[in-house]
Amino acid sequence: MSLTEYRRKRHFDKTREPSPEARAPAKKAVKRKAAKTPEVHRPIFVVQLHHASRRHYDFRLQIGDALKSWAVPKGPSYDPTIKRMAVEVEDHPLSYAGFEGEIPQGEYGGGHVATFDQGVWTTPYDPEAQLAKGHIRFELFGEKLKGEWHLVRSGKPARQPQWLLFKENDAYAGKVEADDLLQDVAAPAGKKVVKKAAKTIAPKTRRKVDWAAKALKLTGGRKSSLRNEAFEPQLAKLGDVAPNGAQWIHEVKWDGYRLVSTIVDGKVRIWSRNAIEWTDKVPELRAALEQLGVKSAALDGELIAGRGTQADFNLLQSTLSGEEQGGLAYVLFDLLHLEGVDVRKAPLVERKALLEVLLKAPIPHLSYSSHVPGDEGTAAFALASEQQFEGIISKRADRPYTAGRSDDWRKTKRLESDEFAVVGTTKGQGSRTGFGSLLLARPDAKHGWVYAGRVGTGFSSEQLRQLSKHIGDIGSSKPSVHVPIPLDAELKRATWFPPLFVVEVFIRGLGNSGILRQPSLKTVRMDKDVGDLLDSDRGKPAKKAAKKTTARERVAAPEVRLSSPTKIIFPDRNITKQQVADYYKAVAPHLLREIAGRPLSAIRCPDGVGKACFFQKHHTAGLEIVRFVRLKEEAGINANYLVVDDISGLMELVQFNTLEFHPWGAHADDPDHADRVIFDLDPGPGVPFAEVKRAATHVRDLLEQLELKSFLRATGGKGLHVVVPLNPANDWKLVKKFSKGFAEALAGSDPDRYLATATLKLRPGKIFIDYLRNGRGATAVASYSLRARAGAPVAVPLAWSELKALKRGDAFHMDKTLARIKRQRKDPWAGIDALRQDLSAWG
């Protein structure tokens, strides 16, 4: 987002409003007191009551490093049937969240500003993708505004984009208006504000259940008061194999943060396992526990993101640190107290049975951790490993809850291993001879080698001696590889040297910046040379790899295991996930020519076409083959964008239920220069396809007059693409300037046929010349990509000679496309990459 408009409208020598350069309120962070206590900073929201020329509420959500803002004349309503107009206004700096007071009359927005409410907001979806789509689903955790809400762009033509703000019909919905909640909001000087009787916002009460009576039925259950303070959790001992036997049960070992919680007199408090309070850091968990509707309880569980696998731990960290938005859940696996009854002495299976009943009615962000019987321990571990969980926790079914570590709980961890080059050492501590730890690095496309972490456990005394001798006295204090994190004191004192030898280490996932979590030595690979790691293709830049690797060689890449192969993806044609995967394997040589090495957006449909699908452009936890490129966005923040290099990456996204592939018009290693211009000819209601074809020919002919050759694509939807390759690539500003000017000139020359704006009111009977796909970060569907629509249509490249016979934009479905590829003798876009043309004449 940009703050240019915010600056333009204000004179900071006349108004007390903060300039964009002013510091935002200091981030509240948790100091690290333990290895698994992260810094926590969540995106904020603020709503301000603004007595300007027209009284209204300013509704602001932090997205990136700015506040996306809307003016809501009547304020938010808790009634889901009432949709309030929200006019999009300029983005505001984060520092504006703390602004209150008078804006001088005569200045923009002159009048009194007071804070109505503020807090944390969350969404499980990509905020920017939702903004682009025009529908933001989110939760608010304030004092006055709580629960789930929607902002939907109306599409009505207006000088400023108009949205609708409304409440989801959730546990907080009711007949409450913003003006009902003004009791503590400051009024303008000299003005009287009529304040209604105070109203409290609380979730709807659940069906009354005598939980105390149920708890007293548990073996050993006894009446007892509960103190609102942290309790010491029960911990597991590490074992080599999962125990079997009827006395055991087995649960998934969730990869997150252990949290214990209490409810006393209806007040929720949440702590880490080390008694550090987390209540304000995870407001969604506090709100969820409040919805249980009990006066007292003590619970034990794990905070997770995603599915709670090892791969999801990165998402959890980045969500807590505010780097990205993600849905969090509290997976509960034990109950110690309920409504005045202490049940710690009850057998675990009885406690869990009561917990399961307590959680039976669904509550957002709360989950129950189920288990399998004890005689299935080996199978449970195998299944957890297959699903990429960290392992399992085996618990004695007949035992009480006891604080601390004991044999009653045992953890069996899945350990993966990987190979790294040794690039340095740290000094040994205490009585340890030789080095303290080995510094590790992995190949990297941009930097050659990049620091991956340190390993200091798993060495025998003899290994320490032999390796110290092998390393000798080489090295310096200057890092020999790229280090993506700030150097801590130990790394500053370390000895660094070029990649020397290879070790294989057990890994337990990756932290931020790809640093290994808790690695331990598996073996020293003296049989391998560091050059072997470079030959493995890890970290190679996509564009270079594409030049060295043929499409046929790509198809021979390792298989990606497909889950749920019989799941129906296109219900109207009964097409399964396996058939979708088979299609993408078949077209991979053609599709990869358009997407390999480019930042990529994907449309994923986990439940198939016709159900909820979502747009994804950022790399996410769980993707192990698909790499990412770190790109700076307009707001000045960096984000990890998806990049597919080969068929393995392609098939991994298919395994993640991706149906559509939309690449940038630029490569990941040169994101600021476009090598494609795309004009999307999008017909409005009532436009026959024959007119779209005539428009495509018209665009082609006009481009030829400009000495630009173009190529044709059926989009798999209603329209056609006219694609202009650029070689050498051009700056995005020039590409956007040219495409916009071309579209506007065309629309101006024949306004009865063409339109250069997306205004819905003007669309009937006209063809929208969509040039907006020609900006940095914009995407267009790739040739040979399926479309997430009934019939399994495909975007297909065409020769211009084929246009006459084309009946519609979605004329090619999956099977027809495969048949077309088999019989075609020549690529319809042959020569597109060798063609030399650019837009320098329009610079």
List pLDDT tens digits, range 69-103.
999 999 999 999 999 999 999 999 999 999 999 99
Per the listing, tokens 């480019």 go with 598
Q: How much is the pLDDT for 554?
A: 35
Q: Which two tokens stand for residue 719?
A: 């329209």
* Intervals of CATH 3.30.470.30 along the chain: 211-413
**673-775+793-833 has CATH 3.90.920.10 classification:** yes
Cis peptide before 728 (omega within 30 of 0): yes
Average pLDDT score over residue span 686-692: 96
Lowest average pLDDT, out of 70-84, 615-629, 728-742, goes to 615-629
Place 39 in a pLDDT band, splitting at 50, 70 and 90: low
The C-alpha torsion from 398 through 400 and 405 to 406, rounded to 10°, is -40
Q: Which two tokens stand for residue 842?
A: 């329009």
What percent of the chain is predicted at pLDDT more than 90? 63
* Intervals of CATH 3.90.920.10 along the chain: 542-663, 673-775+793-833
**211-413 has CATH 3.30.470.30 classification:** yes
Q: Which residues are paired to 258 by β-bridges?
A: 302
Is the pLDDT at 551 greater than 60? The verdict is no
Place 461 in a pLDDT band, splitting at 50, 70 and 90: confident
Correct CATH for 417-534 of 1.10.1530.10, 2.40.50.140, 3.40.47.10, 2.40.160.10: 2.40.50.140
Instruction: Provide the residue type at 55 as one letter.
Output: R
Whether 223 is catalytic? no
Which helix (H) or strand (E) element contains residue 302? strand 296-305
The DSSP string of 483-504 is --S---HHHHT-EE-S---EEE
Is the pLDDT at 543 greater than 70? The verdict is no
Per the model's pLDDT, the better-predicted residue between 198 and 122 turns out to be 122
Q: Which residues are paired to 524 by β-bridges?
A: 503
Rounded distance, CA 805 to CA 812, Å?
13
Instruction: Please tell me the total number of residues recorded for the chain in this structure.
Output: 843
Query: What's the DSSP call for residue 281?
Result: T
Is the pLDDT at 30 greater than 60? The verdict is no
Q: How much is the pLDDT for 429?
A: 76
Place 621 in a pLDDT band, splitting at 50, 70 and 90: low
Average pLDDT score over residue span 656-678: 94
Rounded distance, CA 654 to CA 581, Å?
6
Q: How much is the pLDDT for 762?
A: 87
Q: Which residues are paired to 338 by β-bridges?
A: 297, 341
CB atoms within 10 A of CB 123: 19
Contacts of 459 (CB under 8 A, 6+ apart): 467, 521
306, 621 Cβ separation under 8 angstroms: yes
CB atoms within 10 A of CB 470: 12
Rounded distance, CA 408 to CA 235, Å?
9
Pick the closest to residue 715 from 689, 750, 687 (CA basis): 689
Q: How much is the pLDDT for 38?
A: 62
Rounded distance, CA 400 to CA 352, Å?
11
Q: Which residues are paired to 270 by β-bridges?
A: 261
Average pLDDT score over residue span 644-669: 94
Q: How much is the pLDDT for 36?
A: 44
Average pLDDT score over residue span 291-297: 96
Q: How much is the pLDDT for 22?
A: 64
CA angle 810, 815, 817 (to 5 degrees): 60
Is the pLDDT at 393 greater than 60? The verdict is yes
Pick the closest to residue 298 from 339, 257, 261 (CA basis): 261
Chain centroid to Cα 790, Å, comes to: 27
717, 787 Cβ separation under 8 angstroms: yes
Q: How much is the pLDDT for 193?
A: 58
pTM of the model: 0.56
Q: Which of 167, 253, 577, 617 is catalytic?
A: 253
Per the listing, tokens 């905070």 go with 303
CA angle 286, 29, 257 (to 5 degrees): 55
Q: How much is the pLDDT for 518?
A: 81
Q: How much is the pLDDT for 190?
A: 67
Place 418 in a pLDDT band, splitting at 50, 70 and 90: confident
Per the listing, tokens 């002495």 go with 345
Place 35 in a pLDDT band, splitting at 50, 70 and 90: very low
Q: How much is the pLDDT for 194?
A: 54
CB atoms within 10 A of CB 28: 11
CB atoms within 10 A of CB 488: 9
Average pLDDT score over residue span 257-278: 94
Instruction: Provide the residue type at 614 as one letter.
Output: F
The DSSP string of 388-455 is T-SEEEEEETT----SEEEEEEEEEE--EEEEEEEEEEEE--TT--SEEEEEEEEEETTTEEEEEEEE
Pick the closest to residue 518 from 458, 436, 467 (CA basis): 458
For helices 647-655 and 577-595, angle between their N-to-C axes, nearest 10 degrees: 140
Rounded distance, CA 366 to CA 132, Å?
30
Lowest average pLDDT, out of 27-41, 355-369, 375-389, 528-542, goes to 27-41
Place 529 in a pLDDT band, splitting at 50, 70 and 90: confident
Q: What is the pLDDT of residues 151-195, one digit of tens each?
A: 999 877 778 899 999 999 999 999 999 999 998 888 787 676 555
Give me the chain's average pLDDT, please.
Answer: 88
Instruction: Provide the residue type at 451 as one letter.
Output: Y
Is the pLDDT at 547 greater than 50? The verdict is no
| Strand ranges in 26-134 using DSSP code E only, listed in sequence order | 44-51, 55-63, 66-72, 84-93, 101-103, 111-122
Lowest average pLDDT, out of 354-368, 487-501, 511-525, 662-676, goes to 511-525
Place 553 in a pLDDT band, splitting at 50, 70 and 90: very low
The CATH code of the domain at 542-663 is 3.90.920.10
635, 63 Cβ separation under 8 angstroms: yes
* Intervals of CATH 2.40.50.140 along the chain: 417-534
